Amino acid sequence: MRRLLLSLTALSLVALAGCATEPWVKPYEREKLADPVMQWSRFSLPDKHREHIHSIREGARGATGVQGGGCGCN
């Protein structure tokens, strides 16, 4: 009986997948998001340099989206 219930639950999940929330922005509606003015970062080196300055001149670190190395900068 337990296995029967599990089988029915699995089948329900498969059926309900068709009723799940669909992406509300279709691929053909995303052209504005590809505009250069909509990029978080257009050039890598200036952003990396800027985050380097922040990390050594201020006491806070992290969550910048830029990975880099350390230094003995003081």
Partner 1 sequence: MRLPRVLIWLRRRWRGLAAVALAAPAATTGAIAATLPEDRSELMFHSYDGGGVKATGPAVLVRKSLASRVSLSAGVYVDAVSNASIDVVTTASPFKETRNAYDLGAEFLVRDNIVSLGFNHSKEPDYVAQTASVDVSQEVFGGMTTVALGFSRAADKVGQRNTPGFFDKATHWQYRVGVTQILSPRWLASANFEIVADDGYLGSPYRAARVFGAAVPERNPRTRTGRAIKLRTIHETGALWSGSSLRAEYRYYWDTWAIKSSTWEIGGAKRFGERWIVDASVRGHSQDKALFFFDNAQAETTYVSRNRQLSTFTTTSFSAKASYEVRGLLPTGYEMKVAGVYELKRFRFKDFTDVRTGAPYRYDATVLQVLVSIAY
**Residues at the contact surface with partner 1, assessed by CB under 8 A:** 3-4, 6-8, 10-11, 13-14, 17-18, 20, 22-25, 27, 29-30, 32-33, 35-38, 40, 42-46, 48-50, 53-54, 56-65, 67-74
Please report the sign of the dihedral spanned by the C-alpha atoms of residue 54, residue 58, residue 71, residue 65: negative
Task: Report the distance separating Cα 74 and Cα 65, nearest Å.
Answer: 23
**Distances, alpha carbon 16 to alpha carbons 4, 11, 68, in Å:** 18, 9, 44
Query: What is the closest distance, in whole angstroms, from the C-beta atom of residue 39 to partner 1 in the complex?
Result: 8
Query: What is the closest distance, in whole angstroms, from the C-beta atom of residue 55 to partner 1 in the complex?
Result: 10
Query: What is the closest distance, in whole angstroms, from the C-beta atom of residue 47 to partner 1 in the complex?
Result: 10
